[in-house]
Amino acid sequence: MVHAVIRGSVVREVVENVPWRALGGGGALSVFPLWAWIGFTALIVGLLVLDLLVFARGEREISFRRASVLSAFWIGLALIFGVAVFLVAGPERGGEYFTGYIVEKSLSVDNVFVFALIFSYFAVPARYQYRVLLWGIVGALVLRGFFIAIGAELLERYGWMVYVFGAFLIYTGIRMALHRDTEVHPERNPILRLVRRLVPMTEDFRGDRFFVRHAGKLMATPLFAVIIMVGTTDVVFAVDSIPAIFSITSSVFVVWTTNAFAVLGLRPLYFMLAGMIERFVYLSLGLSVVLVFVGAKFFYSGIFDAKVPIWVSLPFIATVVTVSIAASLYKTRGGGSP
């Protein structure tokens, strides 16, 4: 039953050095070779190091224009990678990649609003936000990778998990449609509370540093607390996106790469949309439809032991997201509100 959703554990997919050309069929048994994992990881690490050493140095605010260029870079890189998957691994895997990326990218817009709330709560100066987001997202990538591995193993070991994931996504979609307001309460974050209890922390910011020596004692600054909040909150909001993409593809590689590109594009996306996030009044409604749809796909695959064709999923999800964004911008043109 679960074979239609996912076959092969994370371990098998990572270590089996299957020739890349063998992926052309795009079937459920297809796995990505070890060198594909290593190459992608090296690419991401290299770009992050470049960002840390070049773009994130010093204290400066990110302009809308610069954020737009960086956002276009990450989206372009994700699309180029998707074309490579399409050409080498076959149309089915390529379609799964693009569908998954659209879902992850769309759901990540919620994170932009959350980041804005976190920065407002901690009163983080704009000139420090880019660097904080960079380190917070590095932590979020690690945590997402951990939960992706857990999700893959659960689906492989327990066939009934497809119904659990499906029910959760449908519930989340309905809840999102009924309750569109996002609330963040940093003071209730258990990990942040634990860190504050274990790590001495200064009362004020000390430039863009995360740790300082004060009276001979190593202490964290509030920026370190913000990093903890960004990383852990991203994972909380990824609880729906990770099961969602597993309803689209059985490939852990596709799940990981689409998640990685969506997360890496969050920083410039934040600086682009933070000031206009309230204009997307219908996006939550559109995303709720997407979540209910992908949740229903889990039930379909479990009951009928078959997958909803990717040529059905991709146009449907792309249309719903596009219409919800276009309707939002049209509704709020000229400063209007719903």
Is the Cβ–Cβ distance between 269 and 140 less than 8 Å?
no
pTM: 0.77
Is the Cβ–Cβ distance between 156 and 9 less than 8 Å?
yes
Using H for helix, E for strand and C for coil, what is the string for 284-324? HHHHHHHHHHHHHHHHHHHHHCCCCCHHHHHHHHHHHHHHH
Residue 241 φ then ψ, to 5°? -75, -35
pLDDT recorded at residue 1: 44
- CA torsion 87→93→98→100, rounded to 10°? -160
Determine the 3-state secondary structure of 220 from DSSP.
Answer: strand
State the distance between the two ends of the chain, measured CA to CA, in whole angstroms: 44
Burial of 338 (0-12, 13-18, 19+ CB in 10 A): exposed
- CA torsion 158→163→165→168, rounded to 10°? -140
Q: Which residue has the tokens 């430039």?
A: 207
User: Tens digit of pLDDT per residue, the chain (338 long)?
Assistant: 444 434 444 434 443 433 333 333 333 334 578 888 899 989 988 888 877 776 655 556 778 888 888 899 999 999 999 999 999 888 999 999 999 999 888 888 777 877 888 888 888 888 888 888 888 888 888 888 888 888 888 888 888 888 998 898 898 889 888 875 556 666 676 777 787 788 888 878 887 888 888 778 888 888 888 888 888 877 776 777 788 888 888 889 999 999 999 988 888 888 888 777 778 888 888 889 998 998 898 898 888 877 888 888 889 999 998 999 899 988 888 755 55
* Residue 155 tokens, joined: 């689906």
How does DSSP classify residue 190? H
Is the Cβ–Cβ distance between 153 and 9 less than 8 Å?
yes
pLDDT recorded at residue 74: 92
Calpha distance 65→140 (Å, rounded): 26
Is the Cβ–Cβ distance between 209 and 135 less than 8 Å?
no
* Residue 186 tokens, joined: 């940093």
Calpha distance 185→139 (Å, rounded): 20
